[in-house]
């Protein structure tokens, strides 16, 4: 094969390769603000994405009793499913208990997860006020906040979880 012919093939391959990488049929459709609001569930540890509304543990106790107690037990303990409270100080013991109170690093995650996935059999039925209230209740039974402390989009990200400083990243950005 001549050098020129080889070069032509190589050059063509490079060209088609780069075209493929950049070519996009451009078939994405614009999204309206209403459509975005309906699907945007992301909540960040700094509170970005938290909705309006508020609640206290005192209010959340009733929500918990109605929707959570059957699976998660009294005050977040002793149920058939994941324990939500207790286990404080157990992480370095022979029997670590990873609960919301003993283990979870961010309080925003509690609201986020409950809003997405709970109650397990009928997710999505709790109002934002109920979500804040039951989040407050879970924090309260872990002795992290007071029973009448109002939890909302401003106060929730400010709650410091007990195990917050015991996490390190195993991934470096730009790795």
Tell me the window of 9-17, 21-29, 50-58, 132-140 that interacts with other proteins (CB under 8 A).
21-29
Binding status of residue 44 toward other proteins by CB under 8 A: yes
Query: Which backbone phi and psi does 33 adopt, to 5 degrees?
Result: -60, -35
Burial of 97 (0-12, 13-18, 19+ CB in 10 A): middle
- Enumerate long-range contacts of 92-101, CB under 8 Å, 24 or more apart: 99/142, 100/76, 100/138, 100/139, 100/142, 101/76, 101/138, 101/139, 101/141, 101/142, 101/143, 101/144, 101/161, 101/162
Place of tokens 């925003």: 108
Question: Looking at 64, 103, 132, 137, which residue binds other proteins (CB under 8 A)?
Answer: 103
Question: Looking at 54, 109, 128, 155, which residue binds other proteins (CB under 8 A)?
Answer: 109
Question: Looking at 11, 120, 146, 148, which residue binds other proteins (CB under 8 A)?
Answer: 120
Tell me the two tokens of residue 33. 């603000």
Tell me the window of 1-9, 51-59, 115-123, 143-151 that interacts with other proteins (CB under 8 A).
115-123
Tell me the window of 6-14, 57-65, 103-111, 137-145 that interacts with other proteins (CB under 8 A).
103-111
How far apart are CB 40 and other proteins at their closest, in Å? 7
How far apart are CB 7 and other proteins at their closest, in Å? 26
Binding status of residue 146 toward other proteins by CB under 8 A: no
Question: Which is closer to other proteins, CB of 1 or CB of 168?
Answer: 168
Q: Which residues pair with 151 in a beta bridge?
A: 55
The answer to whether 55 and 135 have CB atoms below 8 angstroms apart is yes
Binding status of residue 34 toward other proteins by CB under 8 A: no
The answer to whether 63 and 130 have CB atoms below 8 angstroms apart is yes
Query: Which backbone phi and psi does 106 adopt, to 5 degrees?
Result: -130, 135
Positions in the binding site for other proteins (CB under 8 A): 20, 22-31, 35-36, 39-46, 70-71, 80-81, 91-92, 94-96, 98, 100, 103-106, 108-109, 112-113, 116-117, 120, 123, 163, 166-171, 173-175
């Amino acid at each position: 094969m001549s050098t020129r012919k080889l070069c032509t093939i190589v050059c063509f391959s490079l060209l088609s390769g780069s075209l493929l990488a950049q070519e996009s049929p451009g078939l994405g459709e614009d999204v309206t603000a209403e459509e975005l609001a309906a699907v945007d569930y992301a909540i960040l540890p700094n509170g970005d994405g938290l909705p309006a509304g508020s609640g206290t543990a005192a209010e959340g106790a009733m929500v918990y009793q109605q929707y959570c107690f059957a699976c998660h037990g009294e005050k977040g303990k002793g149920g058939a499913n994941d324990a939500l409270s207790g286990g404080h100080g157990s992480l370095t013991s022979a029997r670590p208990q990873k609960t919301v109170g003993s283990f979870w690093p961010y309080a925003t995650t509690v609201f986020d997860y409950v809003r997405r996935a709970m109650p397990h059999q009928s997710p999505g039925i709790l109002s934002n006020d109920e979500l804040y209230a039951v989040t407050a209740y879970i924090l309260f039974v872990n002795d992290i906040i007071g029973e009448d402390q109002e939890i909302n989009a401003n106060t929730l990200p400010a709650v410091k979880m007990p195990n917050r400083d015991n996490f390190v990243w195993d991934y470096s950005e730009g790795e």
